[in-house]
Homo-oligomer: A and B are copies of this chain.
Amino acid sequence: MAGGGTTAGRSVTARALAVLGAFDSTAPRLTLSEIAERSGTPLSTAHRLLGELTGWGALHRRPDGRYEIGRRLWDLGLLAPVQLELRQVAAPFLLDVHTATRDTVHLAVREGRSALYVERVSGRESVPVVSQVGSRLPLHATGVGKVLLAAAPDDVVEAVLRAPTRETRHTVVEPARLRREVAEVRRRGYARTAEEMSLGTLSVAVPVWVERPAGPAVAAALGIVVPSHRRDLLRLVPVLEVAARGIGRELARADAFR
């Protein structure tokens, strides 16, 4: 019997987490063997862990035998600070902007070298966009991304400028030009893009400033995406600014309250 001989130092918890980690947005529903393979766990081990995770409610087993994320993990996820603080505070303001403009409105925060989309309001008549809540998109090719990039520490800016991906034929990838854009965003207080992430859409975005004991900081970026035939893009900047200031004020209050 091989026994635990080949466990290679991975702890039980690490294996259980690896099993959970097998799920992602490209694979939200998996069979036992897929999970075993994706998590690098022997079949029978995966089977046992899945039994426990399912029993607790972290996962759910469908009638067809496949596994998916369970309600209990959904619940836990709702307790994450990004959800509990940012989203709940910001949602009504995004709604205001959407009501005034009828376009797709986004709220994103920086996570490493990506923009993490935290909230989105988009009706059925809005332009189709790639971003969803939970998506991570590059900092250099979206409106909210550029705002977050302009507010990021220098080492992040340098790392992003070193290898900007080309998303469409309009994506700006020249480091010098990106550097100029970042400076411009800092000066003007808003960012704009034209078909740099997906063809047929323009975007503008502004920072959400929050007063903290340590001084003002950019906590998020608020942006709007419109079809590319629109001419009056900059008209939206004041609308976004009003909402962003409202969000910032509420966040500062929430911070003070702890």
Measured CB to CB, the residues of A under 8 A from B are 11-14, 16-17, 20-21, 23-25, 28, 49, 52-53, 56, 58, 60, 68-71, 73-84, 88, 91-93, 95-96, 98-99, 111, 116, 121-124, 132-134
| Contact (Cβ within 8 A) B84 A52 | no
| Contact (Cβ within 8 A) B76 A78 | no
Measured CB to CB, the nearest residue on chain B to A64 is B258
| Residue of B11, B73, B92, B93 touching A76 (CB-CB under 8 A) | B73
| Contact (Cβ within 8 A) A96 B124 | yes
Q: A238 → chain B, closest Cβ, in Å?
A: 19
Measured CB to CB, the nearest residue on chain B to A28 is B79
Supply 14 further A-B pairs (C-beta < 8 A) apart from A13-B13, A23-B76, A74-B80: A14-B56, A21-B56, A24-B79, A25-B79, A69-B77, A69-B79, A69-B80, A71-B111, A71-B116, A73-B80, A74-B134, A92-B123, A96-B123, A96-B124
How far is A83 from B49 in the complex, measured between Cα atoms in Å? 24
Across-interface contacts of A28 in B (CB, < 8 A): 79, 81, 84
